[in-house]
């Protein structure tokens, strides 16, 4: 069974640009969560999607958005990039947000904003 | 009240030694306590988890000790190996109906010297 796939693996953008990151969950997993990881800040929860609906949202500005498609694949978008958005963005999938407690993470997208 | 405090921030252990990482929480509604292991360039992976009705859980060289009255739990790595060098995150799950919220510690960087 293939794991969680995130693309692209690395991304370099400049301030003011926007970026879209993609996540394909494990086959059969319907819940996708997104996290921002920076040194010293640990894993910061961005949002969680299930059945194409956002179920939970973290404390991030509206520049951060996401969506989930009918095949459970998910994308997150960051508009008007700032230097502080440089981070590793991780996607995690699970069977179902209400009953499944085991998260399976992808290897992440390393975003650098110059 | 929803924080999970993890210590130490970094840890250096000699090969064969015992690595101990501690976490503390305040919210007694947490009902699931996982530990995740993250290697450089990879996403976190579930290592071991415990529920509050159990005081200890062991899987190979990894043991979780759980002290419900003190609201603390710890990860013990026996016979630590250089391959255990990674960042370890504790977390706690808060279930509210059909909605799961995972609260993360800030991580411990473990280095095992050969």
Q: What is the pLDDT of residues A36-45, one digit of tens each?
A: 999 878 899 9
Task: Say which residue the tokens 């292991």 belong to.
Answer: B37
Q: Is the pLDDT of residue A107 over 90?
A: yes
Q: Map residue A13 onto helix, strand or coil.
A: strand
List the single residue in A43, A106, A107 with the smallest CB-CB distance to B89: A43
Spatial distance between the Cα atoms of A65 and A58, rounded to a whole number of angstroms: 11
DSSP A25: P
pLDDT recorded at residue A95: 85
pLDDT means per 10 residues, chain B with 114 residues, are 88 98 93 94 94 94 96 98 97 77 92 96
pLDDT at position B78, please?
A: 98
**Which residues in B have their CB inside 8 Å of a CB on A?**
32, 34, 36, 41-46, 49, 89, 93, 97-102, 104-107
Cβ contacts from A onto B, under 8 A:
52
Whether the CB-CB separation of B78 and B59 falls below 8 Å is answered with no
User: How much is the pLDDT for B108?
Assistant: 96
CA distances from B102 to A77, A99, A102, A111, B97 (A): 22, 13, 10, 24, 14
How many whole angstroms separate alpha carbon A39 and alpha carbon B106? 9
Contact of A103 with chain B, judged by CB distance below 8 Å, is answered with: yes
The predicted pLDDT at position A2 comes to: 82
Residue A3 near residue A103, CB atoms below 8 Å:
no
Strand partners, B20: B76
pLDDT attached to residue B101: 80
């Amino acid at each position: 069974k293939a794991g969680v796939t995130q693309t692209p693996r690395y991304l370099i953008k400049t301030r003011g640009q926007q970026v879209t990151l993609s996540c394909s969950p494990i086959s059969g997993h319907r819940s996708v969560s997104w996290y921002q990881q920076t040194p010293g800040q640990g894993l910061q929860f961005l949002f969680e999607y299930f059945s194409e609906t956002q179920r939970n949202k973290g404390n991030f500005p509206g520049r951060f958005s996401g969506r989930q498609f009918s095949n459970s694949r998910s994308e997150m978008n960051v508009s008007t990039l700032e230097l502080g958005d440089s981070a590793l963005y991780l996607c995690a999938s699970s069977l179902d947000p209400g009953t499944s407690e085991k998260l399976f993470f992808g290897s992440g997208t390393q975003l650098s904003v110059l | 009240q929803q924080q999970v405090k993890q210590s130490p921030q970094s840890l250096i252990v000699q090969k064969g030694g015992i690595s101990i990482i501690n976490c503390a929480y305040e919210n007694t509604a947490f009902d699931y306590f996982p530990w995740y292991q993250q290697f450089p360039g990879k996403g976190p992976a579930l290592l071991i988890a415990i529920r509050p009705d159990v005081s200890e859980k062991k899987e190979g060289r990894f043991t979780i000790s759980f002290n419900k009255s003190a609201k603390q739990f710890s990860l013990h790595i026996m016979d630590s190996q250089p391959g255990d060098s990674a960042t370890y995150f504790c977390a706690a799950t808060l279930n509210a109906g059909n909605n799961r919220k995972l609260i993360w510690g800030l991580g411990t960087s473990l280095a095992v010297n050969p």
